């Protein structure tokens, strides 16, 4: 190519580029586009012959199937003094089942390219599994062994017990975990929820394998469980496989055991709970409070308020503590519905700015109860609406989400009405939600930090109570 031709091409490209550049206004962000409608696939509902409920979502994106078995009870059912027994049971469900020991069971799961995990929450024990949809029957056989026929051997229990004690030993020195445990103690001073979900060194050490087996016998029954299936599978095929795997699960004649969550203790005013970490360069801060039991999942105004106050990177708390004052790498706010019904602000700051950081948190808790600007409301509701579809990014995420919602008794119609409800939230609705959920006059400020440097000024916020790691995690 001659030099003259090259120069001509360059000139044309420069001219085109210049025209394109001139047509773009980069002086302000582009306006938000309308949010496209989004509807999650609703599970088909079935019931096995023994009464076990099954929910199936046919999802053909990839040749995978995800299954979640949810069994009611959870850590709320732990007997006093045996806190952590449900976690111990969840740990053992995958440590040998049917005629396989722990190693053989793990080999069988990996042999079909599957994943199988179990965990305990406050309200349930969850067993989740994933495999290629062509291995559905193999996966169901292994899953049924784990749920119905765990080996629950003393030697496996002793091994997993040592692991939990090691985890608890780490908790005794971890400021963030200690902060969460202290916050739970502040809101639930006398109930199960005031103790960590896996228990304490004292309670974990006291749990014998017989107690774990008894917990399985009480709560693992088809009328206290349900199954969610999501993936590349026909619902009728899935039901036939589930009937073969779980249809023989006997249904006892006795009533299903019941558990009751404790509501947070009312707070008389503002108080401070301090856990001393001598010489700590940082303070871990949580500001916790009860929220009304009437606040239910999928409360659109409350969700938008949470986003504006501390649920996104551009939230007020993050903007104040991180961007404006540079006190922290980040700060957030979230509230829980059942079974905890509480809210919390959480952050970590340099020890020397602990007092001004707490002051700014209290300022933001008061300010959220005042009218927000239209721009803030629009940004918060768009963020809340646009992040909601992320639950369907994967089959595992969708199965877990539906399992959680069904456990809470949320109707599919409520789920699929949420985005529209969020986009309808206006300033007055957001302010009303903040007034319901945020009460700056009744809260507890939990701090894990250097008592010597902090205590002289902490009294300005309210009366100070101290707690130790040994009190939160008592030794055997």
Q: Tell me the per-residue pLDDT of 315-332, one tens digit each, with 9 for 90 and over.
A: 999 999 999 999 999 999
Percent of the chain clearing pLDDT 90 (strictly above): 90
Provide the pLDDT for residue 15. Answer: 47
CA dihedral of residues 285, 291, 293, 294 (deg, nearest 10) = -140
Alpha helices (H) in 53-135, listed in sequence order: 85-92, 102-111
**270-472, which class in CATH?**
alpha beta
| pTM as predicted | 0.90
Asked whether residue 117 carries a pLDDT value surpassing 50, the answer given is: yes
Closest listed residue to residue 447, CA positions, set 193, 291, 277, 330: 277
Question: Residue 12: pLDDT above 50?
Answer: no
pLDDT classification of 8: cutoffs 50, 70, 90: very low
| H-assigned helices in 188-274 | 201-206, 209-219, 235-246
- Is the pLDDT at 5 greater than 80, yes or no? no
pLDDT band at 44 (very low <50, low <70, confident <90, very high): very high
Which strands form 270-276's sheet, in the order they lie side by side?
331-336, 342-350, 282-290, 443-449, 270-276, 464-466
On the question of a common fold for 44-246 and 270-472, the answer reads yes
Residues 2, 396: Cα–Cα separation, whole Å:
59
- Give residue 22's pLDDT band: very low, low, confident or very high (50, 70, 90): low
The arithmetic mean of pLDDT across residues 125-154, rounded, is 98
Write down the domain spans for the chain: 44-246, 270-472
Give me the CATH code for the 44-246 domain, please. Answer: 3.30.830.10
Q: In this structure, are strands 443-449 and 464-466 parallel, antiparallel, or unpaired?
A: unpaired
Averaged pLDDT for residues 52-64: 96
pLDDT score of 108 more than 90: yes
């Amino acid at each position: 190519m001659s030099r003259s031709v090259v120069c001509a091409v360059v000139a044309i490209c420069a001219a085109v580029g210049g025209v394109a550049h001139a047509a773009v206004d980069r002086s302000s962000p582009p306006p938000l586009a309308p949010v496209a409608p989004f509807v999650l696939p609703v599970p088909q509902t079935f019931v096995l012959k023994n009464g076990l409920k099954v929910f199936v979502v046919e999802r053909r994106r990839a040749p995978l199937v995800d299954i979640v078995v949810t069994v009611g009870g959870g850590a709320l059912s732990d007997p006093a003094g045996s806190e952590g027994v449900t976690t111990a049971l969840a740990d053992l469900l995958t440590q040998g089942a049917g005629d396989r020991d722990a190693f053989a069971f793990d080999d069988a799961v990996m042999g079909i390219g599957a994943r199988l995990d179990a965990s305990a929450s406050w309200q349930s024990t969850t067993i989740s599994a994933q495999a290629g949809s062509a291995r559905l029957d193999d996966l169901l056989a292994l899953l049924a062994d784990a749920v119905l026929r765990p080996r629950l051997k003393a030697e496996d229990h002793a091994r997993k017990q040592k692991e939990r004690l090691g985890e608890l030993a780490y908790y005794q020195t971890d400021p963030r975990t200690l902060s969460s445990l202290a916050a739970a103690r502040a809101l639930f001073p006398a109930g199960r929820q005031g103790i960590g979900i896996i228990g304490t060194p004292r309670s974990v050490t006291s749990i014998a394998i017989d107690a774990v087996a008894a917990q399985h016998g009480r709560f693992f029954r088809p009328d206290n469980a349900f199954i969610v299936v999501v993936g590349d599978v026909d619902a009728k095929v899935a039901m036939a496989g589930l009937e073969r795997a779980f249809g023989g699960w006997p249904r006892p004649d006795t009533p299903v055991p019941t558990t009751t969550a404790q509501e947070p203790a009312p707070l008389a005013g503002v108080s401070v709970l301090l856990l001393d970490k001598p010489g700590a360069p940082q303070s871990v801060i949580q500001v916790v409070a009860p929220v009304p039991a009437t606040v239910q999942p999928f409360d659109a105004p409350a969700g938008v308020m949470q986003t504006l106050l501390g649920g996104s990177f551009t939230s007020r708390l993050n903007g104040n503590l991180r961007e404006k004052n540079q006190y922290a790498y980040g700060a957030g706010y979230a509230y829980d519905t059942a079974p905890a019904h509480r809210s919390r602000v959480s952050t970590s700051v340099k020890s020397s700015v602990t007092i001004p950081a707490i002051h700014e948190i209290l300022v933001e808790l008061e300010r959220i109860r005042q009218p927000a600007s239209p721009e803030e409301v629009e940004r918060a509701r768009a963020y809340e609406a646009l992040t909601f579809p992320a639950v369907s990014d994967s089959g595992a995420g969708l199965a877990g989400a539906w399992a959680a919602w069904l456990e809470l008794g949320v109707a599919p119609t409520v789920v699929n009405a949420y985005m529209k409800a969020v986009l309808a939230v206006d300033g007055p609705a957001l302010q009303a939600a903040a007034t319901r959920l945020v009460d700056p006059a009744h809260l507890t400020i939990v701090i894990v930090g250097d008592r010597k440097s902090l205590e002289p000024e902490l009294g300005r916020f309210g009366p100070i109570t101290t707690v130790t790691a040994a009190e939160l995690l008592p030794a055997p």
